[in-house]
Amino acid sequence: MKYRVTGLCLVIIFGFALNAGCQSLDADPAVPLSEVFRNVNSSVVMIVATHRSDNPGQPNPNAAVCAGVIISKEGRILTAAHSVNVADQIVVYFLDGQVEKAGIVASSAEADISLLQLESVPDNIEVATLGDSDKTLVGEQVLVIGAPYGIDHTLSVGHVSGRRKSKTLCHQLTPFEFIQTDAAINQGNSGGPMFDIHGNVIGIVSRILSSSGGSEGLGFAVSINTAKGLLLNQKTFWIGFNGFLLYGEMAKAFNLPQDAGLLIQSVADNSPGDDLGLRAGSIPIKSGSQTFLIGGDIVLSIQGFSITHSVGDVCAIQDVVGGFTGETEIVMTVLREGKIVELANQK
């Protein structure tokens, strides 16, 4: 039987004042789940991320619905990266009906987590309490709140089924952890918080393993300690574009002057990729089981490091990009309409 990993989207607002906002419940097993839900629900938000289409045949913007949780009184939100990373607009919907726009301030595509900042912070927002996922045990009960199929503030309950460390070929990349659960998770749950029975956030919903596209009891959340390390402690750089790696026969078909290149698929408005002037593809084609867009830039190098299919070179580029900040002068060489062009942001 073939399985596919399906992305989901939920958002959480991060709080640096970890003791503020939603109150943790006492470690009393008799506390009803309805009370836990009532205490934490107002810290969960629904997010709609839209991205304009560069395909003339698809004039309407693409939209992804996900969830999130408020983590600071300053308006920080934690959510799944795959739903917001290349969005041109991110709109956050609160339980009381208020609506605000947000932008990305840090993101890790590899761990599938992003940190958002509200453009305007409503009064009296509720902040979730962040737990310590290292103390989470297999078999413990967990609660997930999200927006499956756009139905916001939906509760599902299950247990921790396992803890899975990522496997990385790059020694300089810190492994991250996923918490496996049998709680019902469907499209739209991505980015939503996973709570323990005390109302503490222990994970951010990422994806499901499914043969049907619906919940089959194999859901995964990025552990909250992974999120803290990547987005709060070191602020992983958000580049604002995604690409399709061309190598081997595909690289030859596109007449690349080297072994590999990154074919740009989407670029978010007002992102570092947008500042560079990167152009996204607009013509969909299918090669085997893969569908991607052509007609955009093909990145040949970043900061002088050539794009290759070699694991060592890929790790070197990831290490360089991981050190970027908002003040970094980024330089890329791209193949555009058959010509090699150098791009640089303005600093």
Active-site residue, 190 included? yes
SS3 state at 320: helix
Determine the pLDDT at residue 254: 95
**C-alpha to C-alpha distance for 87 and 275, rounded to whole angstroms:** 15
**Contact present, 127 and 20 (Cβ < 8 Å):** yes
> Between 143 and 313, where is the model more confident?
143
Active-site residue, 82 included? yes
Q: What is the pLDDT of residues 73-93, one digit of tens each?
A: 999 999 999 999 999 999 999
Q: What is the pLDDT of residues 172-226, one digit of tens each?
A: 456 789 999 999 888 888 999 999 999 999 999 987 554 444 444 578 999 999 9
**Contact present, 279 and 263 (Cβ < 8 Å):** no
**C-alpha to C-alpha distance for 108 and 78, rounded to whole angstroms:** 11
**C-alpha to C-alpha distance for 75 and 67, rounded to whole angstroms:** 15
Determine the pLDDT at residue 4: 44
**C-alpha to C-alpha distance for 10 and 53, rounded to whole angstroms:** 22
**C-alpha to C-alpha distance for 170 and 147, rounded to whole angstroms:** 35
Q: What is the pLDDT of residues 15-24, one digit of tens each?
A: 333 333 444 4
**Contact present, 324 and 107 (Cβ < 8 Å):** no
What average pLDDT does the segment 215-238 reach? 85
Q: How many residues does the chain have?
A: 347
Helix (H) or strand (E) holding 205: strand 200-210
Annotated catalytic residue within 83, 190, 271, 306: 190
Q: What is the pLDDT of residues 261-301, one digit of tens each?
A: 999 999 999 999 999 999 999 999 988 888 999 999 999 99
Determine the pLDDT at residue 205: 94
Determine the pLDDT at residue 252: 94
Active-site residue, 112 included? yes
SS3 state at 102: strand
Q: What is the mean pLDDT of the chain?
A: 84
Q: What token pair was written down for 322?
A: 């991981």
**C-alpha to C-alpha distance for 180 and 101, rounded to whole angstroms:** 31
Annotated catalytic residue within 83, 107, 108, 112: 112
Determine the pLDDT at residue 62: 79
Phi and psi at 46, nearest 5°, equal -105, 140
What average pLDDT does the segment 108-114 reach? 90
What domains can you pick out in the chain, each with its CATH number?
Answer: 4-233 (2.40.10.120), 241-344 (2.30.42.10)
pLDDT at residue 155 is higher than 60: yes
**C-alpha to C-alpha distance for 208 and 185, rounded to whole angstroms:** 7
Annotated catalytic residue within 82, 107, 152, 161: 82
